[in-house]
Structure 1
Amino acid sequence: MKVIVGLGNPGREYERTKHNVGFWAIDRLADDLGITLNQGKYKGLIGEGRAGSEKVLLVKPLTYMNLSGECVAPLLNFYKLDAEEDLLVIYDDLDLPCGKLRLRTKGSSGGHNGIKSLISHLGTEEFKRIKVGIDRPEPGRKVPDYVLSSFPPDKQTEVEEAVKRACEAAKEWMSISFLRVMNQFNK
C-alpha cells in the first residue's frame, strides 16, 4: 500500500492559495484515479483505491499545515507502513521557481512547517517528496501573507501544469522505483 499526502490548510478561504498546492494535487489524483475522499479517523480526508495493481491512500490532513504530522503518523502506524518506503508528500516550496518540480527521497524541513511537523511525528526525514515551486515573496512582504495568498493570474496556468506533472510523477511511483521517477521529473 502507498500513501500520498498533499499538504494544505482546510477551509474555503485557503482553497486556491499557494500553500495549498498539495491539496490541489490530491484532488486531481482523486479525480484521475476515481477515488472519493471521505472524512477519516485520522484528522484528515482520506480516500482508498487502486493505481494499477497498487493499493493507494490519498490524504489531505485537516489539522492545518503546521500540525500535519498529527494526521499522517497515526495513519501510517495503523496500517503498519514505513514512511521511507510507503509515503509520498506533495507540497509547496518557496525556494523553487513558480511551476518547477523537485523530487527528493529525504531532507530537512527547509523551514516548511508542514514538513517540520511530519518529521517530528514520524521521527525521520526519510520520506519521498514532490515539491512544487511557488517562488519567494517580493522584498518586504511577509512569508505567511505570501503563502496564504492566491497566485496572480499570469502564474495560474504554470502552477496548474506543475500540479498535473506532480500527479503524473505520483502515479508513476506506483509502478516504478522513485529513483527512476526522480530521474524522469527532475529535469
Structure 2
Amino acid sequence: MLVVGLGNPGAQYEGTRHNIGVEVVELLASRHGGRLRKSKELALTDEVHVGGRRLALAFPQTYMNLSGDAVGLLVKRYGIEDPAHLVVVHDELDLPVGRLKLKMGGGLAGNNGLKSIKAHLKSAEFGRVRIGIGKPPSSQRGADHVLRHPTKAERTELDVVVQEAADAVELILSDGFEAAMNRYNARRAGD
C-alpha cells in the first residue's frame, strides 16, 4: 500500500492547515522507524513494515496543485496497479476541525491536489483519509485559510486527529478500507 500525505514543501508551510496530511505520513514514518528522504519521484519517501506488511510513505515535493506529477511516478515505482492500494491523506474544508472521515473514490470537493492525482491516474477510485480543518471565516478566502497556521485550540484538536489518522492508516493496512471506514466514520469529533 502507498500512503501519500498532501501538502506543500518548504519551511514556511510546515504546521499549516494544508500540510496536515504530511504530518500523518511523517508520524507513520516515525512510529515504524522510517525517515522520509528525497527520491527521484519528486517526493520524500520511505518504506516501513507494519505488522509484517510493507507500507510505502510519500510527501510530494511538487506543491499541492501538482501532486499528481509525483503520485504518477510513485504509483509506478511501487507497482500500485489497483487505485484502491493508494491512500491519500489531506485536509478537508468541508469537515469541522478535528473530524476524520475515510472515503474510497468519489468526488474531489474542489481539492486541486486530488484533481491532479485523478488526472494522472485517470481514476478517482483511490482511498482518502480526510482531516477536517473547518471552513474559513466569511472574511477570508479558502486559499488563505488553508495556508495559515491553525489557532492554538485548533492545533490541539489537529494533534489528536493526526494520531487517529495514522491509526486509521494502520487499520486500513491490516484489516482493509471498509473496516477502517466502519470504525472511524462512525465517530464524531470529541468522541
Contact 1:76 1:83 in 2 (8 A): no
The residue type paired with residue 183 of structure 2 is Q
Q: Counterpart of 2:38? A: 39
- Distance in 2, Cα, partners of 1:24 & 1:39: 17
- Distance in 2, Cα, partners of 1:83 & 1:118: 14
- Distance in 2, Cα, partners of 1:34 & 1:83: 27
Contact 1:130 1:166 in 2 (8 A): yes
Q: Counterpart of 1:81? A: 80
Q: Counterpart of 2:137? A: 138
Calculate the aligned-residue CA RMSD, in Å.
0.9
- Distance in 1, Cα, partners of 2:156 & 2:7: 19
- Distance in 2, Cα, partners of 1:85 & 1:152: 34
Q: CA deviation at 1:75?
A: 1.5
Contact 2:24 2:166 in 1 (8 A): yes
Q: CA deviation at 1:20?
A: 0.3
- Distance in 2, Cα, partners of 1:93 & 1:73: 22
The residue type paired with residue 127 of structure 1 is F
- Distance in 2, Cα, partners of 1:98 & 1:85: 26
Q: CA deviation at 1:109?
A: 1.2
- Distance in 2, Cα, partners of 1:24 & 1:177: 22
CA 1:41 to 1:151, structure 2 compared with 1: closer, same or farther past 3 Å? same
Q: Higher mean Cα deviation, 75-84 or 170-179? A: 75-84
Please say if 1:70 is aligned against 2:69. Answer: yes
Q: CA deviation at 1:174?
A: 1.4
Contact 2:171 2:179 in 1 (8 A): no
Q: Counterpart of 1:90? A: 89
Q: Counterpart of 1:127? A: 126
Contact 2:101 2:131 in 1 (8 A): yes
Long gaps (5+) in structure 1: none
The residue type paired with residue 64 of structure 2 is M
Q: Give CA deviations for 1:95-144 in whole Å, capped at 9, x if unaligned.
A: 00000011001112110011111111111010011000000001121111
Q: Counterpart of 1:28? A: 27
- Distance in 1, Cα, partners of 2:13 & 2:62: 13
- Distance in 2, Cα, partners of 1:133 & 1:49: 26
- Distance in 2, Cα, partners of 1:169 & 1:79: 21
The residue type paired with residue 33 of structure 2 is G
Q: CA deviation at 1:79?
A: 2.9
- Distance in 1, Cα, partners of 2:122 & 2:46: 25
Q: Counterpart of 1:182? A: 181
Q: CA deviation at 1:71?
A: 0.4
- Distance in 1, Cα, partners of 2:174 & 2:163: 18
- Distance in 2, Cα, partners of 1:30 & 1:174: 14
Aligned residues: 186
Contact 2:129 2:165 in 1 (8 A): yes
Q: What is the TM-score when the length of structure 1 is the normalising length?
A: 0.97
Q: Counterpart of 1:10? A: 9
Q: CA deviation at 1:83?
A: 4.3
Q: After TM superposition, which residue ranges in structure 1, 4 or more long, deviate above 3 angstroms? A: none
Q: Counterpart of 2:104? A: 105
Between the aligned residues of both structures, percent identity stands at: 38
